[in-house]
Amino acid sequence: MPSSAADVGKLPQILVSVSRKNFRRAHDRNLIKRRCREIYRVYKSELLTRKRQLPTYLGIIYVGKKHESFAFMQQQLREVLDRLPAATSASEIEPPTQTAP
């Protein structure tokens, strides 16, 4: 967590990880990473408007075994990011339930 009140409103640095075990080809892994970064980029302005203390770092680990649509990934990642400022520790952030379209 940020150490001072000055860090409130500062965006966390993100790490996106996709397993090579599930996606053998680099272009598949890169596509998923690009989608996650784009979803975060679009949504980060909404995170700043909340005026809550955000973590310094944020790790996004894609554990799916198949490609999902951009809309589905956006919905799932937004659910997690919506819960982010309210949670006080990483153990309180539960991944959303998987409901495939």
User: Which pLDDT score, from 0 to 100, does residue 100 have?
Assistant: 57
In a domain, 57, yes or no: yes
Domain span including residue 71: 5-86
User: Which pLDDT score, from 0 to 100, does residue 1 have?
Assistant: 44
In a domain, 73, yes or no: yes
**What's the predicted TM-score (pTM) here?**
0.71
CA 36 to CA 8: how far, in whole Å? 23
Domain count, the chain: 1
CA distances from 87 to 23, 80, 82 (A): 31, 10, 10
Q: Which residues of the chain have pLDDT under 50?
A: 1-3
